[in-house]
Amino acid sequence: MLITNIGRLHGIVPEGVRCLRGGDMAAFGSMPGAWLRADGGIISGFGKMDECPSPMPGEEIIDARRGIVIPAFCDSHTHIIYAGSREGEFVDKIQGLSYEDIARRGGGILNSADRLHDISEDELFEAALGRARLMMSRGTGAFEVKTGYGLNTDDELKMLRVAARLRESINARVRITFLGAHAVAREYTGRQSAYVDMLIAEMLPAIAETGLAEYVDVFCDTGFFTPEETRRILEAAAPFGLRPKIHANELGISGGVQVGVACGAVSVDHLEQTGEEEIALLAASETVATMLPGASFFSRLPYGNARQAVDSGAVLALASDYNPGSSPSGDMRFVMALGCIQMRLLPNEALAAVTINGAAAMELGDRCGAIAVGRDARLIIVKPGVSLDYIPYAYTEPYIERII
């Protein structure tokens, strides 16, 4: 396929660049007046329109009519495999209950675990597939999906099989994370360390045996798992080749950033509550700092200090956290808009955070999320007349002309 008359081609990186830090995010490359060619779903060339090659026989030609082209979004943190929804708790929160209040009275994640237990695997798959298709219709081309509403071995395996089936069924790159330590299962109420023991002795080997998951996650936060438990779980998962991508510092300064960085986490995610020490640690590491502004918006939490993270030189990604409790949306355009409006990222920085840096948070920084020869031609052709800055500015206006 040959795309001609691209008003501006955004997201260009030099060969070999897998993520962007600091000032490089604002300098995420672009080229005015461009063409781009893809062969078998892979970018095979691009350049200035006045040097556009002639079409090859049988090649599909797409005239972008001066619309800009951006890489498809890479959403590195979602929980889209769940049963039902939790709008009842949403109304409770409007009336004053907090996320932790709801969790303490047995709602929240445990509510979703009960429902997941009761639903058939096929129904669960259909629900997740619908959400994946919705995300893709909004421009997402690669995403991560977590288990974590099973909380016992059978139901975690059920989620894992659904995740694997999702990966087979859609044209998006999908990464899978085992999140058995999302909450303490109801049967283990008051026996958190017994739950962690069971997770390590029973769940982890069963999950690893399937070979379906790439990552291990722990909800390391106030009222959930401690840094010590997190470290135990990550260390137990390492021999199985499960790399850490963890939840930290959503509800408090949990120590999760320190454990994540020490264990070589691919990413630490949430970071609504993050001090100078945490930012400095992340900036000095390879771990991607992933912030989830949709969860801040929906749960009325503070926004992560994305500005300071970028200015300190951390690799900052933004992701949707699509889940039924704290962020029931997988629209990465809204995430990008929150990055600009609430976190003071420049549009080009926000674009880098939702594309190449999201890809890096899934170890796909060399495959997608940027324009370079040899990478996925997963692209969004934007309506003519809509600039990059306009996308997060007029954040509810339709802007997608076509998704490749």
Q: Which residues pair with 245 in a beta bridge?
A: 267
Give least dist CB 264 to Fe ion, A. 20
Residues 344, 348, 351, 357: is their CA dihedral positive or negative?
negative
**Of 231 and 247, which has the nearer Cβ to ligand NIG?**
247
**Of 312 and 320, which has the nearer Cβ to ligand NIG?**
320
Rg, C-alpha atoms of the chain: 21
Residues 226, 227, 228, 232: is their CA dihedral positive or negative?
positive
Please report the DSSP string for 306-325 in residue order. HHHHHHHT--EEE----BTT
272 binding Fe ion? (CB under 5 A): no
What 8-state DSSP symbol labels residue 55?
A: P
**Of 7 and 256, which has the nearer Cβ to ligand NIG?**
256
**Of 79 and 175, which has the nearer Cβ to ligand NIG?**
79
Using the structure block, give the residue that is written with the tokens 């390492």. 238
Give least dist CB 254 to ligand NIG, A. 11
**Of 52 and 163, which has the nearer Cβ to ligand NIG?**
163
Please give the single-letter amino acid code of residue 358: G
Specify whether the CB–CB gap between 170 and 202 falls below 8 A. no
Binding site partner of 250, from ligand NIG, Fe ion, none, Cβ cut-off 5-8 A by kind: ligand NIG
Using the structure block, give the residue that is written with the tokens 């994370």. 177
Binding site partner of 108, from Fe ion, ligand NIG, none, Cβ cut-off 5-8 A by kind: ligand NIG
Q: Collapsing DSSP states into helix, strand and coil, what is residue 302? A: coil
CA angle (200, 259, 80) in 5-degree steps:
65
**CA-to-CA separations, 116 to 67, 225, 262, 320, in angstroms, rounded:** 43, 22, 34, 21
- Select the residue whose beta carbon is closest to ligand NIG and give its number: 325
Give least dist CB 271 to ligand NIG, A. 11
Give least dist CB 152 to ligand NIG, A. 16
Give least dist CB 290 to ligand NIG, A. 11
Give least dist CB 104 to ligand NIG, A. 13
Pick out residues in 350-389 that bind Fe ion (CB under 5 A): none
**Of 267 and 348, which has the nearer Cβ to Fe ion?**
267
Residues that bind Fe ion (rule: CB under 5 A) add up to a total of 1
- 176 CB burial (10 A radius; 0-12, 13-18, 19+): buried
Pure H helices in 170-222: 192-198, 204-210
Pick out residues in 312-331 that bind Fe ion (CB under 5 A): 321
**Of 8 and 79, which has the nearer Cβ to ligand NIG?**
79
Pick out residues in 143-162 that bind Fe ion (CB under 5 A): none
Specify whether the CB–CB gap between 336 and 391 falls below 8 A. yes
Give least dist CB 321 to Fe ion, A. 5
Which residues in this chain contact ligand NIG in the complex, by CB under 6 A? 79, 108-109, 112, 219, 247, 250, 295, 321, 323-326
Binding site partner of 372, from ligand NIG, Fe ion, none, Cβ cut-off 5-8 A by kind: none
- Select the residue whose beta carbon is closest to Fe ion and give its number: 321
Binding site partner of 333, from Fe ion, ligand NIG, none, Cβ cut-off 5-8 A by kind: none
Q: Which residues pair with 74 in a beta bridge?
A: 142
**CA-to-CA separations, 98 to 79, 82, 89, 91, 326, in angstroms, rounded:** 20, 21, 10, 11, 11
C-alpha span between 285 and 268 (Å, rounded): 11
Give least dist CB 110 to ligand NIG, A. 9
**Of 90 and 390, which has the nearer Cβ to Fe ion?**
90
Catalog residues that contact Fe ion under the rule CB under 5 A: 321
